[in-house]
Structure 1
Amino acid sequence: MADGQKTEKATPKKRRDERKKGNIFFSNDAVSVVVLLVSFLVLRLSANWIAAQIYEFLRYCMDLITQPSMEVPAEGSGLFIHLLGTFVKAAVPLMAAAAAAGVVATFFQTKLLVSGESLRPKLSRISPLQGVKRLFSLRSVVEALKGLLKIAVLLILIFRYITNVLDLFTKYLYTDLLAACAHLFEESFLLSMQIGAAFAVLAAADIFYQWWDYERQIRMSKQEIKEEFKQTEGDPKIKGKIKETQRKMAQSRMMQQVPKADVVIRNPTHFAVALRYQPDRDPAPIVLAKGQDELAARIVRTAEEHKVAVVENVPLARALYASTDLNQVIPPELYNAVAEVLVYLYRMDQKIP
């Protein structure tokens, strides 16, 4: 039962797979807040430009009204073109800034992820049973609470704003129209920034919740981690068998080199090293085979079967085994010791008839 419970953090492979599917940590509230704040700032910076464009359009309309004679179709088309131009000049920069902010905030969270997996049709999306489960899930409850909290915060801020400026509305009757509109716009902008700041706090809380919920969804059970390890690294039993087979094959190839050796240096039972030295082709004695315990005994038996000289030298055998690699020359610090053995063998060979 413990293996079936998803109590472990997701592995890097699991995270990569989920990302390919389009299942990533993402907060819609964060995107909405960024778009809202950018829109407010752009509106504040371009307010004079927007007001000027609206003023020009209204002045154009008044000029049409004051003309003594006016052809309705022609003037109607001109009015529409002028209205369209005013809309493009006044609203399009604001809309473009909001769209750009949304795209940047989205790609910042997704790290430029573009996945078509989430666009593929799935039966679970139209299943009534799955729909009921989603309706009463923890995420649905949290989203409902977030919506109610946003409405409550918005109503509180608007109520505080109205109570603070209510007395000013009567004073606008005795104030210049442009000054009254400018003051009302400034107060409205402050209200907008208060709303944006409050929603930013809610968005930060939503980011934390979305991260927690995402980590909870992609948790893995111990059995899933074991299965993933088998898929990526291979079954340990199979890998062990492969390594054993490779080791046996390497030992077999090594044992085939023993008959070509000039001498096998051994200590009584633990180590054996087979060396070859041909002055015309070898810069120094070369290790053809080496082994310990049972493998050392096999090297010695093979050498004796093929009449290769076997010399017992305990410190030299240990030093050769520890400091040499197969098919490599011996280290320079062992030249003298090995040379003494080879000279001894050459002298012994000369005494043989």
Structure 2
Amino acid sequence: MSQSKTEKATPKRRKDERKKGNVPQSRDITSVVSLLVIFSVLKLVFPYMYEVMKRFIAFIMGKMATMDVFSGNTINDLTGETIKVLAISIVPLLVISAGISIISTGAQTRFMFSSESLKPTLNKFNPLNGIKRMFSVRSGVELIKNLIKIAIITVILYKFIYARFTELAKMLFIEPLQSSVFLLDAVVKMVYMVCMIFVFVAGLDYLYQRWEYERKIKMSKQEIKEEFKQMEGDPQIKGKIKQKQREMATSRMMQAVPTADVVIRNPTHFAVALKYDAESDKAPIVVAKGQDELALRIVAVAEGAGVYIIEDRPLARAIYATAELKMEIPYAYYTAIAEIFALVYSIRNNDKDKKRN
């Protein structure tokens, strides 16, 4: 019996899914952004495109007037002009559309590209899987979403034409350029109205896609256990775990430095922080110790916390080498440490007297 998948996906599972190209994204967002940008650009460059098309049509009509349409030179000229017109008017829009699609999709997927989704698999050609997709919840949602889109476009188109019917009729009596500009302006306004509503629809679609994605990648408790077992056997994972443990231990140790009574340093290579409670400790306890860079960090934290710092090169090196963290100092150093603590207590008392006076 298969276990129910009730647990959120682990970081490893998410990373694996990402490698396969499975990431949440909404095509509606890409469509809305593309429509807005393309029609905005089209509105700006339309007068220039109109002139290009006008010259192109005049060129064709001129060739037809001279009955020279099918000659070799004319065909070459016509081909060249056609390519030129396409390059000037159509290609830039296609490039902009492709660029916007890449950017809007990349913003959702963090510009992830995976070849896994392009590899042919038997499941993709299985007709049963296709039938299942047709009657899946996702297909139902897509159907409802498309019906809503059609209804929105129909209502907006009807209201738009109804409100501007008189103005549209006047287009028959004005110059072609003016009528074309007017018509394009009307279409752009209508597209803006549609896109304003579709932005809301696209937002809901994106939230649904994220929910659907999270639901699909959920794991059972057994899957999480198996994944953890596999990760434990990975040398790289083991190394990362140990490194993390060391970082956490160092962080805890650094937090204990301000509680120390004294830090003994040598002067940059070794540092040992000691704490002593006469009522509960038989001997001073090592609360922190470090070498080189870590030693400098201990000293810096101690200075910031007002902990007394004593420089004793051989003693700092010796305690660092022989004493364990959170353990008492070795018996052999009791006398030397006692002298240091006596000095610290003397300095502390003098400081208190100065504050009183």
For the aligned pair, the TM-score class normalised by the smaller chain equals 0.5 to 0.7
Report if the CA contact (8 A) 1:323-1:331 is conserved: no
How far apart are residue 325 of structure 1 and its match? Answer: 7.4
Q: 2:329 aligns with which of 314, 324, 337?
A: 324
Q: Secondary structure at the match of 1:322?
A: coil
Alignment of 1:187-206 (within 5 A): 187-206=186-205
Corresponding letter in the other structure for 1:114: F
Corresponding letter in the other structure for 1:333: I
Corresponding letter in the other structure for 2:112: L
How far apart are residue 208 of structure 1 and its match? Answer: 0.7
How far apart are residue 14 of structure 1 and its match? Answer: 1.4
Alignment of 1:284-295 (within 5 A): none
CA distance in 1, matches of 2:226, 2:322: 40
Q: Which has the larger displacement, 138-147 or 197-206?
A: 197-206
Report if the CA contact (8 A) 2:50-2:177 is conserved: no
CA deviation vs aligned residue, 1:279-314 (integer Å, no higher than 9, x gap)? xxx9567799999xxxxxxxxxxxxxxxxxxxxxxx
Alignment of 1:1-353 (within 5 A): 4-67=3-66, 72-233=71-232, 283=314, 322-324=327-329, 332-334=336-338
How far apart are residue 17 of structure 1 and its match? Answer: 1.4
CA deviation vs aligned residue, 1:169-218 (integer Å, no higher than 9, x gap)? 33334444433332222112111222222222221111011011001111
TM-score when normalising by structure 2 = 0.65
CA deviation vs aligned residue, 1:246-285 (integer Å, no higher than 9, x gap)? xxxxxxxxxxxxxxxxxxxxxxxxx99xxxxxxxxx9567
CA distance in 2, matches of 1:186, 1:22: 40
Q: Which runs of 5+ in 2 are unaligned?
A: 239-281, 284-312, 342-357
Residues 329, 167 of structure 1: CA spacing in aligned structure 2 closer, same or farther, 3 A cutoff? farther
Corresponding letter in the other structure for 2:124: R
Q: Secondary structure at the match of 1:17?
A: helix
How far apart are residue 19 of structure 1 and its match? Answer: 0.8
CA distance in 2, matches of 1:190, 1:103: 25
Report if the CA contact (8 A) 2:26-2:206 is conserved: yes
How far apart are residue 130 of structure 1 and its match? Answer: 2.1
CA deviation vs aligned residue, 1:141-161 (integer Å, no higher than 9, x gap)? 111112222222121111112
Corresponding letter in the other structure for 1:216: R
How far apart are residue 223 of structure 1 and its match? Answer: 2.2
CA distance in 1, matches of 2:52, 2:326: 91
Residues 331, 173 of structure 1: CA spacing in aligned structure 2 closer, same or farther, 3 A cutoff? farther
Residues 286, 103 of structure 1: CA spacing in aligned structure 2 closer, same or farther, 3 A cutoff? closer
Residues 324, 234 of structure 1: CA spacing in aligned structure 2 closer, same or farther, 3 A cutoff? farther
Q: Which runs of 5+ in 1 are unaligned?
A: 240-270, 273-281, 292-319, 338-353
**In percent, how many aligned pairs have the same letter?**
36
Bigger-Rg structure (1/2):
1
How far apart are residue 129 of structure 1 and its match? Answer: 2.6
Residues 335, 64 of structure 1: CA spacing in aligned structure 2 closer, same or farther, 3 A cutoff? same
**What's the RMSD between the two structures over aligned residues?**
3.6
CA distance in 1, matches of 2:220, 2:229: 14
Q: Secondary structure at the match of 1:216?
A: helix
Corresponding letter in the other structure for 1:62: M
TM-score when normalising by structure 1 = 0.65
CA distance in 2, matches of 1:71, 1:159: 45
Corresponding letter in the other structure for 1:55: K
Residues 44, 333 of structure 1: CA spacing in aligned structure 2 closer, same or farther, 3 A cutoff? same
CA distance in 2, matches of 1:165, 1:336: 95
CA deviation vs aligned residue, 1:2-24 (integer Å, no higher than 9, x gap)? x9222221121211111112111
Q: Secondary structure at the match of 1:46?
A: helix
Report if the CA contact (8 A) 1:24-1:110 is conserved: yes
How far apart are residue 222 of structure 1 and its match? Answer: 2.0
